[in-house]
Amino acid sequence: MPKLSVVVPCYNEEESIPLFYPAVSKIIAQMPVDAEYWFIDDGSRDHSLMEMEKLHQKYPDEVHYVSFSRNFGKEAGLYAGLQAATGDYVVVMDVDLQDPPAMLPTMYKDLQSGEYDCVGTRRTDRTGEAKIKSFLSSQFYHVINHISETEIIPGARDYRMMTRQMLNAVLSMTEYNRFSKGIFSWVGFRTKYLDYHNVERVAGTTDWSMSKLFRYALDGIMDFSDAPLSIATWFGTLIAGLAFIALIVVVIRHIVSPNASAFGWASLICIILFMGGIQLLSIGIVGKYVGKTYMQAKHRPIYIIKTKK
Ligand code: UDP
Ligand code: MG
């Protein structure tokens, strides 16, 4: 029988882990596959690791876990899980049951048909989420799809099942700054998207604050596009053009009425501040990319394992 690996990143999820396993294993038991679970303890400060150990004791052949030395972030957790997985198929799931396990058999069937290499999911609505959060995230998808060649599907979750072939392609991308939504799209292959209605967390709270989401969005844009780097060029060209026109106007005015008085102290200050702002912004953008290059150049490991069972 083919083997299905379930990869589950967890950070402070002691309440969700005991609910997750029975819900998912009940569904997988009805599928024609052998299952393997890889829980990733992303440096949790609660008893998540203990819950994983309990499951491992109970189902030693089926349930495995990797525990990090500290919190490395969900992207690192995903990568560790995908590396550990030995299955012919892999599915990535959040532990809070926001990714409905009932979709697993359909996803598997679509892969089995051979028509698709990956089945992803996307939320059609965002009930239970703040309006401003939904608005900002739709703006994010708008911007990133406009300036990046990698297509990022709006509302797509990390919940996806893929074949070993596609998994190997994902694993071959060893970049330090990992933006999974971009990586899954970048590797290509045929992906089908299933829609579903938003489900709220079973237990615990989300760890994603507004500022964390904002940073995540900026990182996503920078990891998959170099368009922000051209901002300086565009502004520079525009402002140089305007300055040239202004110069011609000043010269003509001087010829036509040599005694016209000069004025515009306030506007001068505005122009100087505006230019200063644009220059700092441009340097800042270049700085962000240099910083990312710097981190990549150090070749630090993406995560560090404390225990693995
Ligand atoms: N997660 C993680 N490391 C982190 C933050 C989150 O492994 O630093 C896990 C978390 O335990 C959950 C998944 O990533 O299984 C999604 O997190 P969450 O539910 O907080 O995000 P949301 O569903 O709101 O996008
Ligand atoms: Mg969640």
Same domain assignment for residues 129 and 36: yes
Same domain assignment for residues 138 and 56: yes
- The CB of 10 under 6 Å from ligand 1? The reply is yes
Mean pLDDT of 63-71: 94
pLDDT score of 268: 83
Label residue 58 by pLDDT band (50, 70, 90). Answer: very high
Mean pLDDT of 91-108: 91
Task: Say how many domains are in the chain.
Answer: 2
Mean pLDDT of 284-305: 90
- The CB of 71 under 6 Å from ligand 1? The reply is yes
Provide the domain limits for residue 274: 227-298
Same domain assignment for residues 73 and 185: yes
CA of 208 to the centre of ligand 2 (A): 9
Same domain assignment for residues 215 and 231: no
Label residue 118 by pLDDT band (50, 70, 90). Answer: very high
Residue nearest to atom 24 of ligand 1 (CA): 206
Same domain assignment for residues 148 and 203: yes
Label residue 295 by pLDDT band (50, 70, 90). Answer: confident
Same domain assignment for residues 116 and 253: no
Same domain assignment for residues 115 and 242: no
- The CB of 158 under 6 Å from ligand 1? The reply is no
Instruction: State the Cα–Cα distance between residues 246 and 91, nearest whole angstrom.
Output: 60
Order of strands, edge to edge, in the sheet holding 89-92? Answer: 191-196, 118-123, 156-163, 89-92, 3-10, 34-41, 63-68, 305-308
Percent of the chain with pLDDT over 70: 99
Which ligand 1 atom is the nearest neighbour of the CA of 94? Answer: 15
- The CB of 73 under 6 Å from ligand 1? The reply is yes
Same domain assignment for residues 136 and 217: yes
Q: Is the pLDDT of residue 208 over 80?
A: no
Same domain assignment for residues 217 and 261: no
Q: Is the pLDDT of residue 182 over 80?
A: yes
Same domain assignment for residues 24 and 107: yes
Q: Which of 96, 127, 140, 216 to mutate to test the pocket of ligand 1 (most atoms within 8 A of CB)?
A: 96
Same domain assignment for residues 274 and 154: no
> Tens digits of per-residue pLDDT, 217-239?
888 888 888 888 888 888 888 98
Q: Is the pLDDT of residue 265 over 90?
A: no
Average pLDDT, the chain: 88
